[in-house]
């Protein structure tokens, strides 16, 4: 009797084990199928976005001269930005990269004959110097031409005549606190100067930026795009440069993925 019960128990356990393995196998196969279907949908959506992007942005910025101001070294290249803008008809007429080593003595020397020649002994002038530089990046002027060798790491194109500006603010690599504070003052001044001109100024960053600079841009009343590494971000950039205002993308605080799509009359200078 005892032996019969034991044999019965083993058969019962074996059957249950088989059922469990079969159930788990079915669950894994179902999960794999759902994953593959999700990947296929995502790839289809990406293909759709890539095909729709040139249609949505076609000619919306035709004839407009734009600037790209890098407030430090960035992984986003000017060539990549040009590719984003290409369907819109805009030209990237200025690319200026700020030197993240702020040399007050060099700036003072280059600003000789102006009120900023004392910036090495009066660092409080740095923000206003940056503001004047930002204004003249858009409108041109004598001061920005003089400051260029001490202010910028690199320059491509010409100052002045800009219809809009794209700004990227990478995370500062400065470990020295006074140096980091000088750079922050200069960056603040430049962005406020750009915004003061009245042209559209938009701050951008990829979706994985950490820390994010969106709050910094918004504090200075710039429109923003926080997912510039996505096709939707490219479209949002064009729509903002065409006149939309706000914060767009995927981060908390973004008002929508895209601005409203409105008709934009082509513009020539």
Confidence (pLDDT) at 18: 77
Cα angle 12-18-22, degrees, rounded to a multiple of 5: 145
Q: What is the 3-state secondary structure (H, E, C) of 211-235?
A: CCCHHHHHHCCCEEECCCCCHHHHH
Confidence (pLDDT) at 9: 63
For 52-88, b where at least 16 C-beta lie within 10 A, e where not — what string? ebeebbeebbeebbbbbbbbbebebebeebeebbebb
Confidence (pLDDT) at 266: 45
**Average pLDDT for consecutive 10-residue bins of the chain (269 residues)?**
53 69 77 70 65 91 97 95 97 96 96 96 96 98 97 97 97 84 96 98 96 97 97 96 96 94 51
Q: Which of 228, 226, 144, 227 is nearest to 193 (CA)?
A: 144
pTM: 0.83
Sign of CA dihedral 146, 149, 153, 155: positive
Q: Where are the domains of the chain?
A: 1-57, 59-248
Gyration radius of the chain over CA positions: 27
Q: Which of 141, 49, 149 is nearest to 109 (CA)?
A: 149
Q: Is 59-248 a domain of CATH 1.10.490?
A: no
Q: How are strands ordered across the β-sheet holding 223-225?
A: 152-157, 91-98, 65-70, 164-168, 200-204, 223-225, 247-248
At CB < 8 A and 24+ separation, what contacts does 139-143 make?
139/197, 143/111, 143/114, 143/116
Confidence (pLDDT) at 20: 78
């Amino acid at each position: 009797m005892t032996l019969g019960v034991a044999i019965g128990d083993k058969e019962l356990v074996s059957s249950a084990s088989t059922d469990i393995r079969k159930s788990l196998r079915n669950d894994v196969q179902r999960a794999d199928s759902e994953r593959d279907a999700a990947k296929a949908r995502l790839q289809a959506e990406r293909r759709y976005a890539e095909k729709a992007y040139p249609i949505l942005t076609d000619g919306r910025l035709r004839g407009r001269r734009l600037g790209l101001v890098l407030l430090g070294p960035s992984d986003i290249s000017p060539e990549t930005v040009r590719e984003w803008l290409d369907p819109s008809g805009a030209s990237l007429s200025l690319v200026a990269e700020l030197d993240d080593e702020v040399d007050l003595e060099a700036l003072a020397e280059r600003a000789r004959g102006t009120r900023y020649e004392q910036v090495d002994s009066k660092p409080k002038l740095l923000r206003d110097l940056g503001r004047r530089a930002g204004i003249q990046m858009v409108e041109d002027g004598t001061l920005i031409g003089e400051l260029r060798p001490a202010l910028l790491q690199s320059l491509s194109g010409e100052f002045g005549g800009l219809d809009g500006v794209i700004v990227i603010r990478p995370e500062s690599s400065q470990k020295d606190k006074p140096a980091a504070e000088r750079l922050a003052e200069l960056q603040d001044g430049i962005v406020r100067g750009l915004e003061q001109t009245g042209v559209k100024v938009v701050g951008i960053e990829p979706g994985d930026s950490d820390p994010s600079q969106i709050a910094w841009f918004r504090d200075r009343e710039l429109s923003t795009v926080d997912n510039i590494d996505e096709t939707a971000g490219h479209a949002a950039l064009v729509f903002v440069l065409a006149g939309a205002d706000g914060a767009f993308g995927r981060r908390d605080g973004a008002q929508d993925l895209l601005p409203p799509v409105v008709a934009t009359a082509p513009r020539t200078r």
